[in-house]
Homo-oligomer: A and B are copies of this chain.
Amino acid sequence: MTNANRALQRLTTAFALALVCSQTVGAQDPLPSWQDTAPKRAIIRFVERVTKPGSPDFVAPSERIATFDNDGTLWSEKPVPFQLFFAFDRVRALAAQHPEWKTREPFASLLKGDMNGVAAAGEKGVLEILAASHTGITTDEFARVVQDWITTAKHPQTGKLFSEMVYQPMLELLAYLRASDFKTFIVSGGGVEFMRQWSERVYGIPPEQVIGSSGKLKLEMREGKPVLVKLPEVEFVDDKEAKPVAIQNRIGRRPIAAFGNSDGDLQMLEWAMAGQGARFALFVHHDDATREFAYDRTDKLQQFNKGWDEAVARGWTVVSMKNDWKVIFPAGKP
């Protein structure tokens, strides 16, 4: 065999292998952790409709925008949104520099581990804890503090890292959408500077595709260099009616698919569904007390009531975590 022939043969083999591989990938189940029930079928049907060239519902890749709530939609949010655990840990870490906290609520209760005392301080108390734990430092310093915390802090009930309490079926959904040329965004009430420190590593969502609540920032010169200081003033709370506003302000296109889990996401889903052409809306329903948490219509922090009714009335997809998901969290994390 000549060298040229050998080269050609190698090339043909490579070509044939590439063909086989692409067929195998095409045939693979993109959502292996989803039961073969209505939600999975609805997702795949929608993605195939909008991505198939020549389909009457075809959507150009640039318009394939999908927005996801975070707390309760991509990761757990019980007993309280995880960012609060960060805030508590940060207050504990800073306590030595703040002797006055020993006698000042809600800090005194928090430092004693008296969560009822913290709760008694109400919303004002929570805002004080958020300000003390999230502001007065530069954005670069805050980024480092969050990165340290997210790689070490553990959930008090499961003992898992918080970043391990993401939903495996939703990770698959994010990957499936991106493989179908969707651009995936987070649109969450959580703090934008908090989420961005790990969203790319954990969800594959880069910082510039994370929208969240934010505090004011101030540009200052320190030692001849500009820094951005986090001020204790709320700038934007990304919840309910504010979610479509944030989507318009930051993305400037209407999502064709939106995903949430509570009434705080209802306006975002309505906004996505009110556009022209094929659309998709999905709520995650927390009904699995054994494997995760069960809460909905009467929950005090994350109510799923009006959204549930509207989803049923309009034929949107509602995922039962108990019945529609084979697993909740990624495997191999004890």
Is B217 touching A250 in the complex (CB atoms < 8 A)? Answer: no
Given contacts A8-B12, A200-B62, A219-B267, contact A192 B249 (CB under 8 A): yes
Given contact pairs A225-B274, A250-B250, A252-B208, A219 touches B245 in the complex (Cβ within 8 A): yes
Contact bitstring A220-233, B, C-beta under 8 A = 1, else 0: 00000110100000
Which residues of the partner chain B approach A241 to less than 8 Å between Cβ atoms?
Answer: 219
Residue A39, interface by CB 8 Å:
no
Q: Which of A8, A139, A241, A252 gathers most chain B CB within 10 Å?
A: A252
| Binary CB contact string for chain A from 182 to 212 against chain B (1 if under 8 A, 0 otherwise) | 0100000000110010001000001111100
Which chain B residue has the least Cβ–Cβ distance from A196? B252
User: Of B15, B253, B270, which one neighbours A226 at CB under 8 angstroms?
Assistant: B270
The yes or no answer to A320 lying at the interface (CB within 8 A) is no
Residue of B nearest to A243 (CB): B219
How far apart are A135's CB and chain B's nearest CB, in angstroms?
14
Whether A208 contacts B249 by the Cβ 8 Å rule is no
Q: Is there contact, CB below 8 Å, between A252 and B210? A: yes
Interface centre among A15, A192, A217 (most CB of B within 10 A): A217
**Chain B CB within 8 A of A323 CB:** no
Nearest residue in B to A227 (C-beta to C-beta)? Answer: B274
Residues of chain B within 8 A of A183, CB atoms compared = 208
Min CB distance A37 to B, Å, is 30
A62 and B244: CB pair below 8 A? no
B253 in contact with A207 (CB, 8 Å): yes
Q: A62-B200, A217-B249, A219-B245 are in contact. List 8 more A-B contacts (CB 8 A).
A: A8-B12, A192-B249, A208-B209, A208-B252, A210-B252, A217-B248, A225-B274, A250-B250
Alpha-carbon distance A183/B219, docked complex (angstroms): 24
Could you say which residues of chain B place their CB within 8 Å of the CB of A274?
225-226
Taking CB as reference atom, which chain B residue is nearest A143? B252
**A217 and B196 contact, CB distance less than 8 A:** no
A207 touches which of B210, B214, B219, B252 (Cβ 8 Å): B252
Distance in Å: Cβ of A140 to nearest Cβ of chain B: 9
- How many angstroms between the C-alpha atoms of A252 and B143 in the bound complex? 10
Q: Is the beta-carbon distance between B253 and A208 smaller than 8 angstroms? A: yes
Asked if A21 is an interface residue, CB under 8 A from chain B, the answer is no
